[in-house]
Amino acid sequence: MDASTIRLSRARFQQAAPQVFDQLRDMILSLGLAPGTALSRAALQQQFGLSSTPIRDALMQLEESGLVEVFPQSGTIVSLIDLPLARQAQFLRRSIEQEAVRVLAAAPDAGLVDRLQAIIAEQRSLATGDDLERFNEADLAFHKMLYDAAGVPDLWSLVRKRSGHIDRIRRLHLPIGGKAAQIVRDHSAIVDAIAEGNPDRAQAELHDHLSRSLAFSDELRVRFPGYFKE
């Protein structure tokens, strides 16, 4: 094996673990891999066509994010939803986004309002269908745009890293009747407050919006008793 082949193999290895991490993370957050699901390293190696090392590294990253639990000499499972960690993630995200919408409402930008309203229009059309994954992607795009417009894009990455437990609560809540339509109404109210230059209203609407799913968690625990950590 010549030096160029070694470099190429190393580059492929370096890319493999993040790709596995991203795919497994998406599956966990979408509940394609439900809380408590056992993960076999051998099965993952076969599924992704990779050696044990990138699979191990991806699982270590997922463990750092709180999305899996690794038991030495035993196995790996998708972590149960931890309500205290979900509350901390909600606190972090709500604190940042309330400040972000306050900044945006203090100096309304018509172009930003148009872009946000375009996402809301997409969500409105998706809310009546069954494609919850696309609806959820549009939801994330809406909130990411707030961070970008407020000049704090790196904080979006921080929030996403910490949001695995609250994200799964929201994903459990999303299919329940009226939830998608409520999200559309909330987003519209937030954008209306930004457009009218009303920072106090923008903060209040954002606070209420990001509080709903966790407030519904007791009912979700009854519906999905095996998904939550005691």
What's domain 3-78's architecture?
Orthogonal Bundle (1.10)
Q: Where are the domains of the chain?
A: 3-78, 83-227
Tell me the per-residue pLDDT of 85-107, one tens digit each, with 9 for 90 and over: 999 999 999 999 999 999 999 99
Q: Supply the CATH classification number for the domain 83-227.
A: 1.20.120.530
Cα–Cα distance measured from residue 124 to residue 162, given in angstroms and rounded to the nearest whole number: 28
Which runs of E-coded beta strand occur in 59-178?
Answer: 68-71, 75-78
DSSP 3-state assignment of 216? coil
Residue 3: pLDDT band by 50, 70, 90 thresholds?
Answer: very low
Phi, psi dihedral angles at 40 (to 5 degrees): -95, 125
DSSP 3-state assignment of 71? strand
Tell me the per-residue pLDDT of 28-59, one tens digit each, with 9 for 90 and over: 999 999 999 999 999 999 998 888 888 999 99
Cα–Cα distance measured from residue 36 to residue 226, given in angstroms and rounded to the nearest whole number: 8
Question: Comparing C-alpha atoms, which of 91, 86, 87 is closest to residue 35?
Answer: 86
Residue 29 has which token pair? 């957050």
pTM of the model: 0.87
